Copies of this chain bind each other. A is one copy, B any other.
Amino acid sequence: MAIKIEKNREFLQDLREAIKAGDEKRALSLINDFHAADIAEIYDEISTEEARFLYLLLDSEKAADTVAELDEDDREEFLKHIPSEVIAHQFIDNMDTDDAADVIADLSVQKQQEVLKHIDDIDHSGDIVDLMSYDEDTAGGLMAKELVVVNQTWTVLTCLKELGRQADEVDEVYYLYVVDDDRLLKGIVSLKDLAISKNTTIISNVMKTDVHYVTVDDGAEDVALMMEKYDLVAIPVVDAIGRLMGRITIDDVVDVIREEAERDYQLASGLTEDVEHSDKVFRITRARLPWLFIGMVGGVLGALVLARFEGDLKIYPEMAFFIPLIAAMGGNVGIQSSAIIVQGLASNTYKIDGVGSKLGKEFMVALLNASILAILILGYNLLVSDSFALTITVSVALMAVIVFAAMFGTLIPLLLNRFKIDPALATGPFITTANDILGLMIYMLIGRVLYGVFA
């Protein structure tokens, strides 16, 4: 009963042969039972020309869904050589307005005009143009215009009829949205409540009035946090004066959550753009090189710092042994501290306590970690090292570097956030690099002082 798909080599070979032979019937029969999301996945395994042949065979409902499922980059490539008229009729006509607006927004300005002109239903193209005016990271950019709207004065029976009338247009209906004559949102009715209410009841007596909603300018991440917190599958979007403008469904919000998480993860791992292993070598390189370059600049600065201490290193070459340890620990502690702050900011769990209390707590944690690790390395060096000066230097420097890195790693994301910059940037190479350099300075300076005392 369920559709379990094996997109194995054999299937792909069959499909590509059918495409190569121009055998439309066979190609269609191979993919016709698949869900659009599955057909979209095949895109990665075939050429753009093959995909064009294939997707133009689909009935236009499924073709539209398939193109909506494609990655942005893939879609741009796919649509590049398809005439505007075909894009309009084969794909956009059958797409939900939110998907249609996303797809059209990625086209060249000229092609946007052409495609919009070819859409026959003026309501549909009007809705799309409206949606294209919103920033993609706002509720307006996420919402669709497809929703079932009823007037607060209607009976349940009238609402049921309206639902039947609009049912073709709106794929997934979870709620009816109840408005007044000015389209001001007054309440929502779940389909369950609609279905079990008496036909003659006025809908405003069935509706729920304490409704969670967002306004068109609310940020996408705030919408996600709200829907997540209150376990909503759809949320109405209103304009500044409360008129119903559209609705956002949970599937789009799941994508926002996933993308946000991936971006933070990429920043923490030193990648500057969304990149997958299937991307081209050049693109992967472009995503990775910038932060490696920053790391290298940091390394060069580190070399300059150490060059200032060349005299010390000549006399006490064993000081060089612990350079990697000091640098690594500074970096590790800094990233940990930043990551905790970044996660807290992302999930919006900080509300009442201020910067001071965060730094204070982080100081305690760092002091505890630093003490334990400094004592361990002290014990190790007392057993192993010949140089008491080195032993003391490493432990004291380790403590200093850990505490410093923790403060620095806590403060930077909070500062970035204060200045409306993505705090996740703090987990990137800047923090590690700055910590590396400052850690080295701390280590060498402490070494100079303590060697003076103990050696």
Q: Which residues of B contact A164 (CB under 8 A)?
A: 195-196
Among B195, B212, B364, point to the contact of A160 (Cβ < 8 A): B195
A28 within 8 A of B: no
Please state if B277 and A329 are interface contacts (CB–CB under 8 Å). Answer: no
Q: Which residues A245-300 have CB closer than 8 A to chain B? A: 249-251, 253-255, 257-258, 261-262, 264-266, 268-271, 275-278, 281-282, 284-285, 288-289, 291-293, 295-296, 298-300
Known contacts A318-B307, A436-B324, A9 near B352 by CB under 8 Å = yes
Q: Which residues A290-331 have CB closer than 8 A to chain B? A: 291-293, 295-296, 298-300, 302-304, 306-307, 310, 313-314, 317-318, 320-329, 331
Closest to A315 in B: B317
Q: Is the interface of A mostly helix, strand, loop or mixed?
A: helix
- Interface-lining segment among A74-82, A111-119, A223-231: A223-231
Q: In the assembled complex, how far is the CB of residue A226 from the closest CB belonging to chain B, in whole angstroms?
A: 10
Q: Which residues of B contact A318 (CB under 8 A)?
A: 307, 310
Chain A: residues with Cβ within 8 Å of the partner, total of 129
A107 within 8 A of B: no
A173 within 8 A of B: yes
Q: Which residues A149-181 have CB closer than 8 A to chain B? A: 160, 163-164, 167, 172-174
A418 within 8 A of B: no
Show the binding face of A for B, using Cβ within 8 Å. 1-3, 7-9, 12, 33, 35, 37, 44-45, 160, 163-164, 167, 172-174, 185-187, 190-196, 209-213, 228-231, 233, 242, 249-251, 253-255, 257-258, 261-262, 264-266, 268-271, 275-278, 281-282, 284-285, 288-289, 291-293, 295-296, 298-300, 302-304, 306-307, 310, 313-314, 317-318, 320-329, 331-333, 335-336, 338-341, 343-344, 347, 349-352, 358, 361, 364-365, 368-369, 372-373, 376-377, 380, 402, 427, 429, 432-433, 436, 440
